[in-house]
Every structure is written in structure tokens, then in C-alpha cells.
């Protein structure tokens, strides 16, 4: 009899997981069309932000290039817009198995994670990308003129936005590791040089091969690590 109850419990959990996944994928499918229609306006706004105070114009080199780029942009926007709903569905699935203090801890982490991700994306779009473009423009001479392709620039913007949003999770990762006793505060404090080196290597792998974007990612990330370390001490 106990085996039968365990099997029924497992089946009910699998059904709940299936229903959760179906809702998540359905939300992504439903929002993809409006995000595709919104993608051209978002791309125009993105171009204005990145090219502010520069005489640049962007070019495309294939008939389907802009369409494919709009589709990529729509997919990224789709995931970002649906993330709160998906997070809520996942939360509804896992929360019954958690204690009250665990629910409060994870709920606060999810909220803080979403906030930091948005801050990282905005920091990248309004500060880092214009800085990278101005750095590239500094090499212009009478005999050397820039010719930027829209696909490369928008793809770079989308990729760096996601990277900055993820790297801005560092204070939460640090805080969670210390508070969950996986790593002690003293260990993290003494490993600072190695952590900084690891951030530099990770930034070099995730950003284009230019020193500006690498430093602009690694320095704020390390500063956020220190913030997480400070709050983890308390």
C-alpha cells in the first residue's frame, strides 16, 4: 500500500511539473507574435541610444538580414517579458515543499535577482554600449572610416545586455553561498585575488576582444561581489 501511495504522489508531481512546463511554453508562444511586431520599434530605440552623439548610420548586407535580426530580438524580448510569469509558475510548483523561512529566503532572492538583472541590462544599454562605440570611433582618421553593420551591432547589444544582467547576480550568489553555509565569509574574503582573476577571465570570455568592454564588465562585477560579501558578513 505505501508503494502505491508513493507512486501516486510521484505521478501527481510529474503531472504538476508537466502542467507548469506547458504554461511556461504557452506563454512564450503567445507573446512571441506581439514581441515580433514590437521588435522594430525596440531596435530603433536601441540604435538611438547606442549611436547618440555620433554621426554613424547602420547598414545591412543581405535581403533577409533585418528580418532575422528582428526575429532574434523578438525571442530575447519574449523571454524577458515572460520571465515574471515563468518565475511565478516555477514558484507555485516548488513552494509547497518548502518551509516558511525557505519560502521567504527564495522569494526575496528571486525578487532581488530580477531587479539586479534589469539594472545590469540598463547599465549596459545606456552606459557601456555607447562607451564601446565611442571607443571604436576614436580610431577614425581621414583615411579610415567606420562602416557598421546593423546585425553585428544589435547582436552585440543583445548579447552584452544578457551578459551584464547575469553578471550582476554576483552579490546574490555571494550572499546565498555564505548564508547557506556552503562557503564561509572568511574563505570568500581570503580568496578575493582569485575571485577577481576569475571575474577577469570570465569577462574576457563573455565580451568582445576589446579592453573597454572587458573592464566595464569586470570592475562593476567585482564591486557587486564586495557588496554581497559585506551583507553576507552580517
Other Cβ atoms less than 10 A from the Cβ of 150: the count is 17
Cell of 153: 551591432
| CA atoms of 157 and 47, how far apart (whole Å) | 9
Nearest to 232 by CA among 170, 167, 177: 177
| CA atoms of 17 and 68, how far apart (whole Å) | 33
Give the global pTM: 0.75
Other Cβ atoms less than 10 A from the Cβ of 39: the count is 22
| CA atoms of 113 and 117, how far apart (whole Å) | 6
Residue 37, CA distances (Å) to 33, 67, 76, 184 in order: 6, 11, 13, 49
Chain centroid, CA 13 distance in Å: 30
Tell me if 210 sits within 8 A of 156, measured CB to CB: no
| CA atoms of 211 and 208, how far apart (whole Å) | 8
Query: Each residue's pLDDT tens digit in the chain (234 positions)?
Result: 455 655 556 677 678 778 888 988 999 999 999 999 999 998 888 888 877 777 777 888 888 888 999 998 899 889 888 887 887 787 777 777 666 766 777 777 777 888 888 888 888 888 888 888 887 777 878 788 877 888 888 888 888 888 888 888 888 888 878 877 778 878 888 888 888 888 888 888 887 777 777 888 888 888 888 888 887 776
Other Cβ atoms less than 10 A from the Cβ of 159: the count is 15
Amino acid at each position: 500500500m505505501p508503494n502505491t501511495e508513493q507512486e501516486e504522489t510521484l505521478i501527481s508531481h510529474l503531472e504538476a511539473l508537466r502542467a507548469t512546463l506547458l504554461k511556461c511554453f504557452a506563454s512564450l508562444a503567445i507573446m512571441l507574435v506581439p514581441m515580433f511586431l514590437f521588435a522594430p520599434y525596440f531596435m530603433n530605440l536601441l540604435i538611438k541610444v547606442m549611436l547618440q552623439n555620433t554621426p554613424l548610420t547602420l547598414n545591412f548586407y543581405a535581403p533577409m538580414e533585418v528580418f532575422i535580426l528582428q526575429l532574434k530580438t523578438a525571442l530575447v524580448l519574449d523571454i524577458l517579458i515572460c520571465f515574471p510569469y515563468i518565475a511565478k509558475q516555477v514558484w507555485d510548483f516548488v513552494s509547497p515543499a518548502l518551509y516558511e523561512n525557505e519560502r521567504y529566503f527564495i522569494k526575496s532572492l528571486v525578487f532581488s535577482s530580477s531587479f539586479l538583472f534589469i539594472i545590469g541590462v540598463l547599465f549596459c544599454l545606456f552606459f557601456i554600449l555607447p562607451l564601446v562605440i565611442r571607443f571604436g570611433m576614436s580610431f577614425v582618421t581621414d583615411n579610415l572610416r567606420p562602416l557598421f553593420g546593423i546585425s553585428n551591432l544589435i547582436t552585440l547589444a543583445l548579447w552584452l545586455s544578457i551578459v551584464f544582467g547575469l553578471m550582476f547576480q554576483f552579490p546574490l550568489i555571494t550572499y546565498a553561498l555564505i548564508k547557506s553555509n556552503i562557503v564561509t565569509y572568511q574563505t570568500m574574503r581570503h580568496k578575493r585575488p582569485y575571485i577577481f582573476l576569475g571575474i577577469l577571465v570570465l569577462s574576457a570570455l563573455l565580451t568582445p576582444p576589446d579592453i573597454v568592454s572587458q573592464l566595464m564588465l569586470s570592475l562593476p562585477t567585482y564591486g557587486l561581489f564586495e557588496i554581497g560579501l559585506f551583507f553576507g558578513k552580517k
